[in-house]
Amino acid sequence: MAIEDGIIVFSPSDLTGFMESPFASWMDRLYLEFPDRYMPDEVSDGLQSYADAGITHEADFVKETETKGGDLCWINGNSREVAEEANPNAVAVGRVDPEGRRSDAFTPSG
User: Mind listing the pLDDT tens digit for each residue in 3-49?
Assistant: 888 889 888 888 888 888 899 899 999 999 999 998 877 888 888 89
Spatial CB neighbours of 96, under 8 Å, sequence gap ≥ 6 = 72, 73, 90, 102, 103
**pLDDT of 108 higher than 60:** no
Q: Where are the beta strands (DSSP E) in the chain?
A: 2-4, 7-9
pLDDT given at position 99? 55
Out of 1-5, 79-83, 101-105, pick the least confident.
101-105
Stretch 69-88: mean pLDDT: 68
pLDDT given at position 61? 86
pLDDT given at position 103? 41
Stretch 40-63: mean pLDDT: 87
Residue 106: how many other CB atoms lie within 10 Å: 20
Please give the model's pTM, rounded to 2 decimal places.
0.44
What is the spatial distance between Cα 66 and Cα 81, in angstroms, rounded to a whole number?
27
CA dihedral (4, 9, 13, 15) in degrees, to 10, reads 160
pLDDT given at position 88? 66
